Chains A and B, each alone.
Chain A
Amino acid sequence: MDEDVIKKIIKKSEEMGSSYSEVRMETGDNESFVLKNGILDSYSNEEYSGVSLRVLVNGSLGFASTNMLNKKNIEELVKTAIKIAKVSSLHQKEKIKLSKNKSHRKKYSVKEKIPIKDMGLDEKIKFLYDIDKEALSSGVKLPGRYYNMETSTAEKIVATSGGAFIKSYIPRVNFTYVITCVYNNKSKQMYFQYGNSGGWEFVKKWGLEKALKEEAITLQKILKTAKIMKMKKVDAVLGPFVGSIAAHESCGHPMEADRIMGREAAQAGESFVKINSIGKRIGSDEATVIDDPTIPNSYGFYLFDDEGVKARPKILYKNGVINEFLHNRETAYKTGVKSNGSSRATSYANEPIVRMSNTYIKPGKWTFEELIKEVRNGVYIKNFMEWNIDDKRWNAKYVGNEAYVIRNGELKGMILNPAVEITTRNFWSSLKARGNDIQYFAGTCGKSDPMQGIPVFFGSPHILLKNILVGSRK
């Protein structure tokens, strides 16, 4: 679709009464492989293209999308979006307004050192078989081995009636595994996801052969040696994987302005954070959490959001104080600020809403060894499997998978399924030291209706929490 067609869509919708029009056109492809217990269970691919139009008419939002890109259907798209917005406006009480943000005209792309399209299908499949061989070479009994590898490219245009015109190209690679280890009639599992924006070079960087083998050995070691831990208050060093999920769940989500304002109340829920919470304390001085879409090759990378607003880092919690919400243009207007570029949609066929991108705990100065040495009687929880949090983002649970006792500054034996069940305030208030060793992890964050799974990074260094309740899950 060329720029002229997009301009015509915007012009036509303005003629029909739209005060704001936003066209998103996308062309892309996806490829997916599933290797299940050593058999290529599924190979699938798709090429897609489609367009959507979001309009504001008399203060009401209308959205229409289609994958039928002929003249007749595009004309119908405009009529539909305008019509449904007009009908809604007859019933809608509070009129929607959008913040004024600078319009940009830019083109950007994520470079692939090894382009996904240059990789032969046979090479990709061989790679999957090879990593499975490595996992099995561990000698560990792994009756369940499920690997899913996905590659995608997306060319997108976001154009608005305000003059924004952003063209982007973002390739992504993604790999998830679930492996099940059985020993002495007991089982242990681990689910893990890798992802980056970029090319096949990242699949190589992940070091999956080594990672899967080590994971298998670790799971067996847990089954062989891990002991039940009674619930007690201890100091806990949390691995970057655990810290990063807390950054996402207990900071990123509650700081989404649409959630705070009740727009997601029937689905992803509300927030313990209120509209007047800016400046209020939520944790110790160590608690600084940032959301930054501009991290190169991150899984949640973008330079302009789906309303055409320039992306930038946002400090959500700053030294333990609630600092800045994640906004789109609608929520920004309601609070008298400008959008900070947090509006994202999973695809052209979804409405853009307030989302995280790459959310992380700011690193500190401690080495991992120094953090462990700091603990007299405690635990080190390296990673987790089960987790959840309530719909106000207050009551969280993280259950460790690989975890150890710390005694007098040294790592000792393994602990079975240590559960941390903690309020958001207690988590951030207990944070006493941050490592200098940040790591990022890929995830697919779910929100909105219909569900929109969107690529994000979670990040954290090792962190030390003092005096929290930990014990094996029952």
Chain B
Amino acid sequence: MNISEYVVKKYKKFDYIAANHIISKSNQIRFANSDISISKEWNQNFLSIFLSKDGKTISTTVDNPTKEKINRVLKKSIKLMKFLKKNENFYKLARGPFKYRKSKPDKKILNSEFDDLDIIEASINSARENGGKKCAGTLLKSSTKENLCTSEKVECSSESTNISLSLRALAEKEGSGHDVACSSKISGIHPEDVGKHAGEIAKLSKNPVEGKKGKYNIFFDPVAFSDLLSNIGEASSASSVEAGLSFLANKIGKKIASKKVSIYDDGRNGFSSRIFDAEGVPVKKTCIIKEGMLKTYLHNTSTAKRFKTKTTGNAGIIYPTPWSVVLQPGRKSKEKIISSIDSGIYVTNIWYTRFQNYFTGDFSTIPRDGIFLIKNGEIVKSLKNIRISDNMINILKNITQISNHAKNVYTWETSTPVFTPYVLAKDITVTKPV
């Protein structure tokens, strides 16, 4: 009997109980100025427990769980239950059993030692060959085992692996470019391509001139658009909607985006993919926006009850969470889209996205690294010191083109991994400092 089963079988007095035993190992190498800064390894072993009795709920974590520790923590929880108020937002846990896909961890990651420096060297060399002078970034590799058992006939386990590479190339005269790669398998990342793209942007972005404020066609690189798509994912959680933290609130069935826009949550593939959610419901593909129309929020069993729908397999038992947000590709190549732009700005990366009002979607974000003025389908200038100050719904409605290939992106800035193509949006407000 594994430790999760032990907890659920021993503590039957709770109305609902879920125990998830998670063991993970991660390695990271950070580099800067084209040299290694530090190498790290983390080993974590913990048990995440959710308990409910008479409508009251507690979430707790036991570090390095032993039976003795678990029993001490759960005895304390039983005492604490007396003082809690009923959580009227909790309904129940999903009832199993369910059928699951098989885990497919990358054996190369599972069996690898600290031997990834060749990946970093390959990406740095490629960045230098293509115009970067100095490089900074991170290589992260991880493996995680989960054993979930709940009082609702759920018993499931998974083993997953992930790898991500981030490289920023810096060139002289204020040039810089950034690219990332992420996958559940080592074979899914191509370090030379990352270095090449970052190096090329760095070279092209040298000698930038001050940008001008105004309304522009903005052509987003996947790295840039990933930040906005991640925010759309967060806003699609039913919990964000209830808390007033979503610009998608009260818009189910309404047109909130251009007809070219279809957005899904699909945690089955790519970086950080998974088999089941925190209730044990199998992770699936859920359509959030279909051809511009908002179809659903992301739910667990309890939020689904409140919204009179079914769980989408996105539990967090308390907060439904997006797993991987997918923007459906269009038909044109990125080259064809660029060549169609009479006048616009190509934004390769953004950061520091902050909202004036989460409910309306008013926000601003700052382009960083290569920013390029496009005239008559060609890059004519490198720009600096601009800001996109607009509204999320406005941007979704103004999307005019989506390229034909989606890239899996996970960056330091994005909390949720995404699959996104290049995106062109019209009439976007650009401001600048004085």
Report A's interface with B, CB cutoff 8 A. Answer: 34, 36-37, 39-50, 60-69, 73, 76-77, 80-81, 83-85, 87-88, 91-94, 120-122, 125, 129, 143-146, 178-180, 187-189, 261-267, 269, 349, 351, 385-391, 394-397, 399, 417, 419, 421-423, 426, 449-451, 468-469, 473-474
Q: Please give the distance in Å from B43's CB to the nearest CB on chain A.
A: 4
User: Which A residues are in CB contact (< 8 Å) with B46?
Assistant: 67
Q: Does B359 contact A (CB under 8 A)?
A: yes
A146 with B36: CB separation less than 8 A: no
Q: Does B309 contact A (CB under 8 A)?
A: no
Q: Does B80 contact A (CB under 8 A)?
A: yes
Contact with A along B348-370 (1 / 0, CB 8 A): 00011111111110111110100
User: Which A residues are in CB contact (< 8 Å) with B138?
Assistant: 266-267, 449
Q: For residue A122, which residue of chain B has the nearest CB?
A: B83
**Within the complex, which residue of A46, A65, A391, A419 is in contact with B368, where a contact is CB–CB below 8 Å?**
A391
Known contacts A397-B364, A474-B431; 5 additional CB pairs below 8 A are A42-B57, A61-B38, A66-B42, A125-B85, A143-B244
Please measure, in the bound complex, the distance between the C-alpha atom of A389 and the C-alpha atom of B364, giving whole angstroms: 10
B87 with A41: CB separation less than 8 A: yes
Q: Please give the distance in Å from A65's CB to the nearest CB on chain B.
A: 5
B87 with A84: CB separation less than 8 A: no
User: Which A residues are in CB contact (< 8 Å) with B62?
Assistant: 47
Q: Please give the distance in Å from B209's CB to the nearest CB on chain A.
A: 14
**Within the complex, which residue of A41, A43, A180 is in contact with B359, where a contact is CB–CB below 8 Å?**
A180
| Contact flag A262-B32 (CB < 8 Å), given A267-B412, A389-B366 | yes
A390 with B40: CB separation less than 8 A: no
Please measure, in the bound complex, the distance between the C-alpha atom of A344 and the C-alpha atom of B83, giving whole angstroms: 37
Name B123-164 residues within 8 Å CB distance of A: 134, 136-138, 140
A42 with B60: CB separation less than 8 A: no
**Within the complex, which residue of A44, A178, A265, A423 is in contact with B168, where a contact is CB–CB below 8 Å?**
A265
User: Which A residues are in CB contact (< 8 Å) with B32?
Assistant: 261-266
Please measure, in the bound complex, the distance between the C-alpha atom of A45 and the C-alpha atom of B58, giving whole angstroms: 8
Q: Please give the distance in Å from A473's CB to the nearest CB on chain B.
A: 6
Of the listed residues A37, A179, A262, A349, the one surrounded by the most CB atoms of chain B closer than 10 A to its CB is A262
B89 with A41: CB separation less than 8 A: yes
Of the listed residues B117, B121, B134, the one surrounded by the most CB atoms of chain A closer than 10 A to its CB is B117
User: Which B residues are in CB contact (< 8 Å) with A93?
Assistant: 34-35
User: Which A residues are in CB contact (< 8 Å) with B355?
Assistant: 385-386
Q: Please give the distance in Å from B8's CB to the nearest CB on chain A.
A: 19
Please measure, in the bound complex, the distance between the C-alpha atom of A287 and the C-alpha atom of B428, giving whole angstroms: 36
Q: Please give the distance in Å from A423's CB to the nearest CB on chain B.
A: 5
Task: Tell me how many residue pairs across A and B have CB atoms closer than 8 Å.
Answer: 259
| Contact flag A60-B39 (CB < 8 Å), given A388-B352, A395-B432 | yes
Q: Does B114 contact A (CB under 8 A)?
A: yes
B434 with A422: CB separation less than 8 A: yes
User: Which B residues are in CB contact (< 8 Å) with A84?
Assistant: 27, 39-41, 114
B61 with A46: CB separation less than 8 A: yes
Q: Please give the distance in Å from B368's CB to the nearest CB on chain A.
A: 5
Please measure, in the bound complex, the distance between the C-alpha atom of A257 and the C-alpha atom of B32, giving whole angstroms: 14
User: Which A residues are in CB contact (< 8 Å) with B140?
Assistant: 450
Q: Please give the distance in Å from A72's CB to the nearest CB on chain B.
A: 12
**Within the complex, which residue of A64, A129, A265 is in contact with B170, where a contact is CB–CB below 8 Å?**
A265
Please measure, in the bound complex, the distance between the C-alpha atom of A120 and the C-alpha atom of B57, giving whole angstroms: 17
A422 with B433: CB separation less than 8 A: yes
Q: Does B252 contact A (CB under 8 A)?
A: no
| Contact flag A263-B37 (CB < 8 Å), given A44-B60, A83-B114, A189-B357 | yes
Please measure, in the bound complex, the distance between the C-alpha atom of A92 and the C-alpha atom of B37, giving whole angstroms: 8
Can you pick out 7 interface pairs between chain A and chain B where the beta carbons lie within 8 Å of each other? A146-B244, A180-B359, A388-B352, A388-B353, A388-B354, A397-B387, A468-B434
| Contact flag A390-B385 (CB < 8 Å), given A40-B87, A423-B434 | yes
Q: Does B29 contact A (CB under 8 A)?
A: yes
Q: Please give the distance in Å from B170's CB to the nearest CB on chain A.
A: 6
| Contact flag A146-B243 (CB < 8 Å), given A125-B85, A189-B359, A387-B354 | yes
User: Which A residues are in CB contact (< 8 Å) with B87?
Assistant: 39-43
User: Which A residues are in CB contact (< 8 Å) with B73?
Assistant: 47
